[in-house]
Amino acid sequence: MPILGIIASQNYTRGITVDSLVVAGGGGGANGGAGGGGGLLTDTSVLTLSTNYIVTIGGGGAGGTGAGHWATSDGTNGDNSRFASLTESVGGGKGRRQDDVYAGGNGGSGGGGAYGGGGGTATSGQGYDGGGSVQTGSRGCGGGGGAGAVGGGGTTSVGGNGGNGLANSITGVSVTRAGGGGGGAYVNSNVGGTGGSGGGGGSSTVGGNATSGTVNLGGGGGGTVSFTGTPGNAGNGGSGVVILRVLTSAGTITIGAGLTGSTATDGSHKVTTITAGTGNVSWA
Instruction: For residue range 114-169, list pLDDT tens digits in order.
Output: 999 999 999 999 999 999 999 988 889 999 999 999 999 999 989 999 999 999 99
Across 217-227, average pLDDT: 91
User: What local confidence, expressed as pLDDT, does residue 73 receive?
Assistant: 83
User: What local confidence, expressed as pLDDT, does residue 8 receive?
Assistant: 32
State pTM to two decimals: 0.93
Summary mean pLDDT of the chain: 90
Q: What percent of the chain has pLDDT over 70?
A: 89
Across 219-243, average pLDDT: 88
First vs last C-alpha separation in the chain: 45
What is the spatial distance between Cα 148 and Cα 156, in angstroms, rounded to a whole number? 26
- The neighbour count for residue 4, using CB atoms within 10 Å, is 5
CA geometry: angle 234, 239, 244, nearest 5 deg: 160
- Whether the Cβ atoms of residue 133 and residue 32 lie closer than 8 Å to each other: yes
What is the spatial distance between Cα 34 and Cα 71, in angstroms, rounded to a whole number? 14
Residue 7 has pLDDT above 80, yes or no: no
Q: What would you report as the CA-atom Rg of the chain, rounded to the nearest whole angstrom?
A: 22
Give pLDDT tens digits for 12-24: 356 899 999 999 9
User: What local confidence, expressed as pLDDT, does residue 87 receive?
Assistant: 75
Give pLDDT tens digits for 56-82: 999 999 999 866 555 678 999 999 999
More confident position, 274 or 185? 274
Residue 3 has pLDDT above 70, yes or no: no
What is the spatial distance between Cα 53 and Cα 279, in angstroms, rounded to a whole number? 8
Phi, psi of 68 (to 5 degrees): 55, -145
Confidence of residue 1 (pLDDT cuts 50, 70, 90): very low
Buried b (16+ CB within 10 A) or exposed e, 5-39: eeeeeeeeeeebebbbbbbbbbbbbbbbbbbbbbb
More confident position, 284 or 204? 284
